[in-house]
Structure 1
Amino acid sequence: MSSQTKFKKDKEIIAEYEAQIKEIRTQLVEQFKCLEQQSESRLQLLQDLQEFFRRKAEIELEYSRSLEKLAERFSSKIRSSREHQFKKDQYLLSPVNCWYLVLHQTRRESRDHATLNDIFMNNVIVRLSQISEDVIRLFKKSKEIGLQMHEELLKVTNELYTVMKTYHMYHAESISAESKLKEAEKQEEKQFNKSGDLSMNLLRHEDRPQRRSSVKKIEKMKEKRQAKYSENKLKCTKARNDYLLNLAATNAAISKYYIHDVSDLIDCCDLGFHASLARTFRTYLSAEYNLETSRHEGLDVIENAVDNLDSRSDKHTVMDMCNQVFCPPLKFEFQPHMGDEVCQVSAQQPVQTELLMRYHQLQSRLATLKIENEEVRKTLDATMQTLQDMLTVEDFDVSDAFQHSRSTESVKSAASETYMSKINIAKRRANQQETEMFYFTKFKEYVNGSNLITKLQAKHDLLKQTLGEGERAECGTTSRRDGRLRLPHFPWPGCPPAPHFVPHPALQGRRNARTRNQDSGQAIPLVVESCIRYINLYGLQQQGIFRVPGSQVEVNDIKNSFERGEDPLVDDQNERDINSVAGVLKLYFRGLENPLFPKERFQDLISTIKLENPAERVHQIQQILVTLPRVVIVVMRYLFAFLNHLSQYSDENMMDPYNLAICFGPTLMHIPDGQDPVSCQAHINEVIKTIIIHHEAIFPSPRELEGPVYEKCMAGGEEYCDSPHSEPGTIDEVDHDNGTEPHTSDEDNWTYLLDSM
Structure 2
Amino acid sequence: MSSQTKFKKDKEIIAEYETQVKEIRTQLVEQFKCLEQQSESRLQLLQDLQEFFRRKAEIELEYSRNLEKLAERFSSKIRSSREHHQFKKDQHLLSPVNCWYLVLTQTRRESRDHATLNDIFMNNVIVRLSQISEDVIRLFKKSKEIGLQMHEELLKVTNELYTVMKTYHMYHAESISAESKLKEAEKQEEKQFNKAGDISVNLLRHEDRPQRRSSVKKIEKMKEKRQAKYSENKLKCTKARNDYLLNLAATNAAVSKYYIHDVSDLIDCCDLGFHASLARTFRTYLSAEYNLETSRHEGLDIIENAVDNLDARSDKHTVMDMCNQVFCPPLKFEYQPHMGDEVCQVSAQQPVQTELLMRYHQLQSRLATLKIENEEVRKTLDATMQTLQDMLTVEDFDVSDAFQHSRSTESVKSAASETYMSKINIAKRRANQQETEMFYFTKFKEYLNGSNLITKLQAKHDLLKQTLGEGERAECGTTRPPCLPPKPQKMRRPRPLSVYNHKLFNGNMETFIKDSGQAIPLVVESCIRYINLYGLQQQGIFRVPGSQVEVNDIKNSFERGEDPLADDQNERDINSVAGVLKLYFRGLENPLFPKERFQDLISTIKIENLAERVHQIQQILITLPRAVIIVMRYLFAFLNHLSQYSDENMMDPYNLAICFGPTLMHIPDGQDPVSCQAHVNEVIKTIIINHEAIFPSLRELEGPVYEKCMTGGEEYCDSPHSEPGTIDEAEHDNGTEPHTSDDD
- TM-score category of the 2 structures, normalised to the smaller one: 0.3 to 0.5
How far does residue 647 in structure 1 lie from its aligned partner after superposition?
Answer: 52
Cα pair 1:97 1:305 within 8 Å, conserved: no
> Measured at CA, do residues 372 and 621 of structure 1 come closer, stay the same or move farther in structure 2, by a change above 3 Å?
closer
CA shift, 1:28, in A, is 1.9
Contact 1:43 1:135 in 2 (8 A): yes
Most deviating of 640-649 and 140-149: 640-649
User: In structure 2, what is the Cα distance between the partners aligned to 1:214 and 1:470?
Assistant: 44
- Could you tell me whether the CA contact under 8 Å between 2:472 and 2:482 is conserved in 1? no
TM-score by structure 2 length? 0.38
Instruction: Provide the rounded CA distance (Å) in 1 between the counterparts of 2:431 and 2:142.
Output: 77
Preserved contact between residue 709 and residue 717 of structure 2 (Cα < 8 Å): yes
What is the Cα deviation at residue 6 of structure 1? 1.9
Contact 1:57–1:121 (Cα < 8 Å) also in 2: yes
Q: Give the conservation status (yes or no) of the 8 Å contact 2:168–2:241.
A: yes
Question: What secondary structure, in the 3-state scheme, does the structure 2 residue paired with 1:735 have?
Answer: helix
Q: Which shifted more, 98-107 or 432-441? A: 432-441
Task: Verify: 1:539 aligned to 2:541, yes or no.
Answer: no
Contact 2:364 2:461 in 1 (8 A): yes
- Say whether the 8 Å CA contact 1:93–1:317 is kept in structure 2: no
Against the structure 1 CA distance between its residues 288 and 580, is the aligned structure 2 distance closer, same or farther, given a 3 Å change threshold?
A: same
Question: How far off is 1:119 after superposition?
Answer: 0.3
**1:637 match:** 633
2:544 is matched with which residue: 548, 556, 563?
548
> Matches of 1:50 and 1:371 in 2, distance apart?
47
Aligned in 2, Cα 1:473/1:395: closer, same or farther, shift over 3 Å? farther
Q: Distance in 2 between matches of 1:346 and 1:234?
A: 11
CA contact (8 A) 1:550 1:577 kept: yes
1:747 aligns to what SS in structure 2?
coil
Shift in CA distance, 103/7, structure 1 to aligned 2, threshold 3 Å:
same
Kept in 2, the 8 Å contact 1:661–1:685? The answer is yes
SS in 1 for 2:472: coil
User: Which region of structure 1 is more displaced relative to structure 2, 557-566 or 229-238?
Assistant: 557-566
Q: CA deviation at 1:697?
A: 65
Contact preservation (8 Å) 2:284, 2:398: no
How much has 1:212 moved relative to structure 2?
A: 3.3
The answer to whether the 8 Å contact 1:520/1:707 transfers is no
Task: Check conservation: 1:589, 1:667, Cα contact below 8 A.
Answer: yes
Aligned equivalents of 1:317, 1:119: Cα separation in 2? 33
- Where does residue 731 of structure 2 map in the other structure? 735
Matched with 1:507 is 505
Which shifted more, 149-158 or 541-550?
Answer: 541-550
Q: What CA distance in whole angstroms lies between the structure 2 residues aligned with 1:360 and 1:165?
A: 28
Q: Offset at 1:345?
A: 146
Q: Could you say if the C-alpha distance between residues 460 and 169 of structure 1 is closer, same or farther in structure 2, counting changes exceeding 3 Å?
A: closer
- The structure-2 alpha-carbon separation of the partners of 1:266 and 1:424, relative to structure 1 and needing over 3 Å to count, comes to closer
Q: Rg larger in 1 or in 2?
A: 1
Q: Which region of structure 1 is more displaced relative to structure 2, 598-607 or 716-725?
A: 598-607
Give how far 1:217 is off: 2.4
Give, in angstroms, the shift of residue 56 of structure 1.
0.5
Instruction: Quickly say closer, same or farther: Cα 1:346–1:293, change in 2 above 3 A.
Output: same
How far is the alpha carbon of 1:30 from its aligned partner? 2.0
| Distance of aligned partners of 1:494 and 1:577 in 2 relative to their CA distance in 1, 3 Å threshold | farther
TM-superposition CA deviations, 1:709-756 (whole Å, max 9, x none): 9999999999999999999999999999999999999999xxxxxxxx
User: What is the count of residue pairs matched by the alignment?
Assistant: 728
Retained in 1: the 8 A contact 2:284–2:397?
Answer: no
Give the CA deviation at 1:59: 0.7
Bigger mean CA deviation after superposition, 306-315 or 273-282: 306-315
Contact 2:286 2:304 (C-alpha < 8 Å) held by counterparts: no
Q: Structure 2 vs 1, CA of residues 642 and 78 (structure 1 numbering), >3 Å: closer, same or farther?
A: farther
Closer, same or farther in 2 for the Cα pair 1:213/1:9, shift >3 Å?
same
> Does structure 1 conserve the Cα–Cα contact (< 8 Å) formed by 2:605 and 2:679?
yes
Corresponding position of 1:32? 32
Q: 1:309 to 1:604 in 2, by over 3 A?
A: closer
Deviation per CA, 1:70-121, whole angstroms, max 9, x where unpaired?
3333333333323452699898655555444433333222211111100000
Out of 659-668 and 210-219, give the one that drifted further. 659-668
Rounded Cα–Cα distance in structure 2 between residues aligned with 1:348 and 1:219: 29
Alpha-carbon contact 2:291-2:403 (below 8 Å) kept: no
Tell which deviates more after alignment, 459-468 or 573-582. 459-468
Gaps of 5+ in 1: 479-492, 749-757
Which region of structure 1 is more displaced relative to structure 2, 128-137 or 391-400? Answer: 391-400
Unaligned runs of 5+ in 2: 489-501
Give the 3 Å change call, closer, same or farther, for CA 338–693 of structure 1 in structure 2: farther
Percent of aligned pairs with the same amino acid: 95
Deviations along 1:549-578, one digit per CA (max 9) or x if unpaired, are: 999999999999999999999999999999
Output the CA distance in 2 between the equivalents of 1:161 and 1:568: 54
Q: CA deviation at 1:176?
A: 0.9
The answer to whether the 8 Å contact 1:649/1:655 transfers is yes
Deviates more, 1:141-150 or 1:676-685: 676-685
Q: 1:211 to 1:75 in 2, by over 3 A?
A: same
8 Å CA contact 2:604–2:616 kept in 1: the answer is yes
- Cα 1:327–1:640, aligned 2, differ >3 Å: closer, same or farther? farther
Between 60-69 and 606-615, the greater mean CA deviation after superposition: 606-615
Between 391-400 and 157-166, the greater mean CA deviation after superposition: 391-400
Deviations 1:140-180 (A, max 9, x none): 22222222222222222221111111111001101111111
Work out whether 1:240 is the aligned partner of 2:229.
no
* Structure-2 separation of matches of 1:603 and 1:467: 49
Task: Tell me which residue corresponds to 1:315.
Answer: 316
Query: SS at 1:473's partner residue?
Result: helix
Deviation at 1:58, TM superposition (A): 0.4
Bigger shift: residues 515-524 or 263-272: 515-524
Measured in 2, the distance between the counterparts of 1:607 and 1:447 equals 39
Distance of aligned partners of 1:315 and 1:505 in 2 relative to their CA distance in 1, 3 Å threshold: farther
Distance 1:244 1:288, change over 3 A: same
2:192, 2:216 within 8 Å by CA — same for their partners in 1? yes
Contact 2:287–2:398 (Cα < 8 Å) also in 1: no
Deviates more, 1:529-538 or 1:264-273: 529-538
